[in-house]
Structure 1
Amino acid sequence: MEDVSEQGIKAFIGAVVLRGGRAERLTTSRRNPVQVWGVDGSSCIVRVRSKAAGDWKARRQDESLASDDTGSSYWVFVDLGASEPSFFMVSSEEMAADIRGEVDLWVQDSPLRTRTGHHAIAVGRVQHGRNKWSLLGLHAAADPKLEEEARAAAVHRAKPAVRRSPSKKAVAAEEEIPDLRVRVVADFDGYRLSARFDPSNKRLEIMQGPMEGRRFDDPTQAASAVATHISGDIEVRDGWKFWELDTPERLPLGTLQ
């Protein structure tokens, strides 16, 4: 089953084609960039944020355009909550200023808060950008004659970057050193975290998600650090309950104690 992000990007690409343009997903960033070509052939890059319910998710760091590695000109917010998707277009500069203002107020409430972590964007903050297709150089109305072309464009997947195949010697070396650590996962504030736990020394390494690559002396230290990083508040978590075994049963890591 496709996740909400994938559904939103496909819906947006199809909507672009219906309005006389062309769109292609880029693989240069994890921030869901899409390049859009308008009716006149001009192009721009947009960041696509999608939701099926609640608020859209961004990062407090998005208050700075310097943190945007996509080079986007606009953000496109896709709401999949109704029978037909809704689209909202806002310039990247406006979104950065909007997030910066909200983060300023949020930090003022507590000196311990940091300008990092998850940031929710409610529909009211982008309502003025609803169906602003003209910003992207597209027709305001969809052309039913382009429905077949739109469906084909929506399912087209961007080609991943070509990577050199490792040599047989390198593959053999990897196979000789299997990772015997325990696979664990955690879900926190909309993020899925994957990690490896070493029962011999209790250390835990985050393999995927925020703070990827960081190593900690024990599960509780890791859980508290990553929760604090994501929320922006000081979090203290019991790592033996926070982390769960990466199995269908999802038992707490503490069952191994």
Structure 2
Amino acid sequence: MEDTSDRGIKAFIRTVAQRGGRAERLTTSRRNPVQVWSMDGTSSCIVRVRSKVTGDWKARRQDESLESDDTGSSYWVFVDLANEEPRFYMVSSEEMATDIRGEVDLWVQDSPLRTRTGHHAIALDRVLHGSERWDLLGLSSTLDTTVDLGPEQTWVRTPRVKAPRKSAKAAVEEEVIDNRVRVVADCEGYRLSGRYDPETQRLEITAGPMEGRRFDNPSVAASAVATHISGDVEERDGWQFWQLDTPDRAPLGSFQ
């Protein structure tokens, strides 16, 4: 399954081209920066692209400060992939920092023990005024759907493909060969499966984003996959993030 962040960036790059501009994904930061050139090609800016399918967009409380933005962005672009055609919302980076700072101020006031770090949700009503503001990026208000960037950069809704059902004999043989503990996790709409080795504490992701990767312990695995999905640096408690693949879905930390 293609990552939500990748789908959103591809949708944005495609739409920029269809509005007369050009966009290129940058690899200088994990905050999903994209450089955008205006229609006449004489000016450009960097935007941060945040994408979602359901719920709120994800940011961090540290985004209240422009100094924490290592992309040098001028705007944030929020991509909503919930519908057949994505929707876009553009808000200046300065405005977003001010908005997040105000929300974090209120959040910290509720409890003096809280810190100004961690996840921060961005609801639609906070960016709705930036709906389809392509003019901020120097782009056309008219969409030219004849522009085709090819399959590598075209936004595609990828259907979920079910894995073939294994025979009972194959399942028995697998259990005999692999005695590791089966675990699962849900992250940003993705279902992950893995195998945990109680002796070494190593965890392998067997299905979902980062499939095939092995990590030294559950927390390293959880933080890595959450970072991969969100595009920001994430830290997760793997003993709570991963759950036993049983009907009650107990946290891995409860495993004895």
Q: Give the TM-score band, short-chain normalised.
A: 0.5 to 0.7
* CA deviation map 1:114-147 (0-9, x unaligned): 111111111111111111101111111111332x
* Alignment partners' CA distance in 1, 2:54 and 2:98: 25
Match of 2:29 in 1: 29
1:154 is the counterpart of 2:153: yes
In structure 2, the partner of 1:130 is 131
Q: 1:256 offset after TM fit, Å?
A: 5.8
Q: Tell me, what secondary structure is at the counterpart of 1:35? A: strand
Alpha-carbon deviations, 1:87-127, whole Å to 9, x = none?
A: 00011011000000000001101111111111111111111
- Which runs of no fewer than 5 residues in structure 1 stay unpaired? 157-180, 213-224, 228-238
Give how far 1:243 is off: 3.9
Q: CA 1:51–1:43 in 2, change beyond 3 Å: closer, same or farther?
A: same
For the residue of structure 2 that corresponds to 1:54, the secondary structure is: coil
Cα 1:109–1:20 change in 2 (3 A) is same
Aligned to 1:89: 90
* Structure 2 unaligned blocks of 5 or more: 156-179, 203-215, 226-234
Counterpart secondary structure, 1:77: strand
- CA 1:88–1:256: 2 relative to 1, 3 Å: closer
Measured in 2, the distance between the counterparts of 1:93 and 1:32 equals: 17
Q: CA deviation at 1:207?
A: 2.6
In the alignment, is residue 38 of structure 1 matched against residue 38 of structure 2? yes
Secondary structure of the structure 2 residue equivalent to 1:9: helix
CA contact (8 A) 2:218 2:239 kept: no
1:175-225 per-residue CA deviation (whole Å, 9 max, x = no partner) reads xxxxxx99987657889999987747999574356599xxxxxxxxxxxx9
Q: Cα distance, 1:155 vs. partner? A: 4.6
Q: What's the RMSD between the two structures over aligned residues?
A: 3.7
Return the alpha-carbon distance in structure 1 between the equivalents of residues 59 and 73 of structure 2: 15
Number of equivalent positions: 207
2:65 matched residue in structure 1: 64
Cα distance per residue 1:143-190 (max 9 Å; x no partner): 1332x23x456259xxxxxxxxxxxxxxxxxxxxxxxx9998765788
Instruction: Quote the offset at 1:43 in angstroms.
Output: 1.0
Write the letter of the residue equivalent to 1:207.
Answer: V
Corresponding residue for 1:221? none
Identity %: 66
Decide whether the 8 Å contact of 2:219 with 2:239 is kept in 1: no
Give, in angstroms, the shift of residue 5 of structure 1: 1.2
Provide the secondary structure at the position in 1 that maps to 2:63.
helix
SS in 2 for 1:144: coil
Correspondence 1:168-207 to 2 at 5 A: 199=199, 206-207=219-220
Q: What residue identity is the alignment partner of 1:23?
A: A
Alignment of 1:101-112 (within 5 A): 101-112=102-113
What residue identity is the alignment partner of 2:72?
G
CA contact (8 A) 2:38 2:139 kept: yes
Return the TM-score normalized by structure 2. 0.67
Where is the helix percentage greater, Structure 1 or Structure 2?
Answer: 1
